[in-house]
Structure 1
Amino acid sequence: MPNTLVIIPTYNERDNIGPIVARVRASVPQADILVVDDASPDGTGVLADALAVGDTQVHVLHRRAKAGLGAAYLEAFGWGLSRGYDRLVQLDADGSHLPEQLPDLLAAANSADVVMGSRWVPGGQVKNWPWHRRALSQGGSIYSRVILRLRQRDVTGGYRVYTKYALERMQLSNIDSLGYCFQIDMLLHAVQARLLVVEVPITFVERTLGSSKMSGRIVAEAMGRVTLWGLTGMGATRSTVARAAASPGRG
């Protein structure tokens, strides 16, 4: 396996961090893990430090305050690239992204620049979501796809693999989205950089411990920004996209 870093951002995930780290280590034993904690008041960062003491493949990046998912990932990307990792993975701490499916995503990254775990392609599914949550997610993806002229089906999903090649060409310094639309912003930059993007079906499972950070206000703010991007001509001008097992890319 290429040199892989699994990035797990956390804020108040004390009940979830231990189990998710253990599952990642079991699923991809060769990969390293970086927990990025935004000064969780529930002690998540302290627990992550304890996990790192007992496992040299677990690392912790402490941030001073809660500053948004996008900011956490961008700092983690810089951390990983500066240390020579070839594959950088986005993975939620709450168990909604199944670590057991990560080998499939990493396999696809051998022939693509960006791999997206997708709920809305054939074979993808969502478990334990009420109908209104499903409608909100699918609606957000469809709206963003149309206004930004994107071909990908699950543009808001956060289970992804970026190659070093991709991140070095995506002009990350121009990404200032911190919340829900960060994933859309990253995809838009990947497409504009003419990278090969593939979608791999995943099963998304609603968290069982802790509370979600998602709200209607956050989604509304994100859609407002997406609308602005679309109206100002910032959508994709050339969408380089493929399904899993499509034409080879740059690994």
Structure 2
Amino acid sequence: MIPPASTGTHLVLIPSYDSGALVYDVVRAARRYWTPVWVVVDGSTDGTATGLQEMAAGDPGLRVFVLPVNSGKGAAVLHGLELAASAGFTHALTMDADGQHPAAAIPDFMATSMGTLDAMVLGVPRFDADAPKLRVQGRKVSNWFANLETLWLGIGDSLYGFRVYPIAPLCRVMHAQRWMRRFDFDPEAAVRLCWCGVSPINRPAPVSYLRADQGGVSHFNYLRDNALLTWMHTRLLLGFLRRLPALLRRRLGMVHR
């Protein structure tokens, strides 16, 4: 077996909340392609924290951190980022624990990041036939707003959480305000990092929506999470208006290169 790739700068970070037994397969798959892999268990009540800790006890390339209460995806990612920064890591590839994201793409995304360290590498989903149509169509609205809010600086997809982030600017962005702690994390991170001058690099990646009989678990709530996204884009549009002159100068600079 080919050993997983490794650097002293990049790690895989997986937030997990009540993901069920599927999280073990996700972690094993990630470990096949990269080391280290860190998992932040976000107050799970399904017993997987214990199972993951047992896996980590026999695997020096895996670390598991357990938060006592559920705080949201963004909060779990931030917790992991802060620990990673203190350990000397500069970049983190985030992926979900529900089996939607392709572990096999980890080396490609990491190599892309290492080639342009000041950029973020954003996954652009390639959907299979089982993808829920409402989710596929609905994300187009969020993508349109994210591109408006950045004057089309290049966000290929605002919601897909399979990404490589530079840790330091993302931590600064998150500490500067109290949002981005739940389902709003992924799109707001992409927009605010663009505002800070972190350019996006888009890479295609497949996405799989697993059925319940395949072990799939979804915590998406159509009304709650779309209301959260609506409020998020309202905030971002206000921020966009304040930053419009700077964004225009940046866009004009790109055109005249």
* Same fold per superposition (TM over 0.5): yes
Q: 1:2 is aligned with what amino acid? A: T
Matched residue of 2:247: which SS? coil
Cα distance in 1 for partners of 2:132, 2:92 equals 31
Provide the residue aligned with 2:136 in structure 1. Answer: 134
1:2 pairs, out of 4, 7, 25, with: 7
Equivalent of 2:33 in 27, 31, 37? 27
What is the alpha-carbon distance in structure 2 between the residues aligned to residue 5 and residue 222 of structure 1? 28
Q: Which amino acid aligns with 2:180?
A: S
Q: Which residue of the partner structure matches residue 58 of structure 1?
A: 62
Equivalent in the alignment of 1:219:
226
Separation of aligned partners in 2, 1:83 and 1:135: 40
Instruction: Please report the RMSD computed on the Cα atoms of aligned residues, expressed in angstroms.
Output: 2.2
Q: 2:51 aligns with which of 47, 53, 58?
A: 47
Q: How far apart in 2 are the matches of 1:164 and 1:74?
A: 9
C-alpha contact 1:98 1:204 (8 A) present in aligned 2: yes
Structure 2: unaligned runs, 5 residues or longer: 1-5, 252-257
1:114, 1:198 within 8 Å by CA — same for their partners in 2?
yes
Q: Which residue of the partner structure matches residue 194 of structure 2?
A: 191
> Residues 76-112 of structure 1: CA distance to partner in whole angstroms, max 9, x if unpaired?
1001000011321101111111100111111110232
Consecutive aligned runs of 4 or more in structure 1 exceeding 6 Å deviation: none
Where do 5+ consecutive residues of structure 1 fail to align?
120-124, 242-251
| Equivalences for residues 3-152 of structure 1 within 5 A | 3=8, 4-28=10-34, 31-112=35-116, 113-119=119-125, 125-127=126-128, 128-150=130-152, 151-152=154-155
Q: Is the 8 A contact 1:126 1:205 kept in 2?
A: yes
Deviates more, 1:146-155 or 1:5-14: 146-155
State the alpha-carbon separation in 1 of the partners of residues 200 and 247 from structure 2: 12
TM (normalized to structure 1)?
0.85
Q: Share of identical aligned residues, percent?
A: 21
Q: Would you tell me which structure has more helix in proportion to its own residues?
A: 2
Given residue 185 of structure 1, which amino acid in structure 2 is its aligned partner? E
CA contact (8 A) 2:20 2:217 kept: no
Shift of 1:20: 0.9
Name the CA distance, whole Å, in 2 between partners of 1:161 and 1:183: 12
Q: CA deviation at 1:235?
A: 5.9
- For the pair 1:229 / 2:236, whether they are aligned, the reply is yes
Q: Deviations over 1:47-96 (max 9, x none)?
A: 11011011011111110111111111111100100001132110111111
**Aligned equivalents of 2:226, 2:181: Cα separation in 1:** 12
Match of 1:154 among 138, 153, 157: 157
Q: TM-score scaled to structure 2, two decimals?
A: 0.83
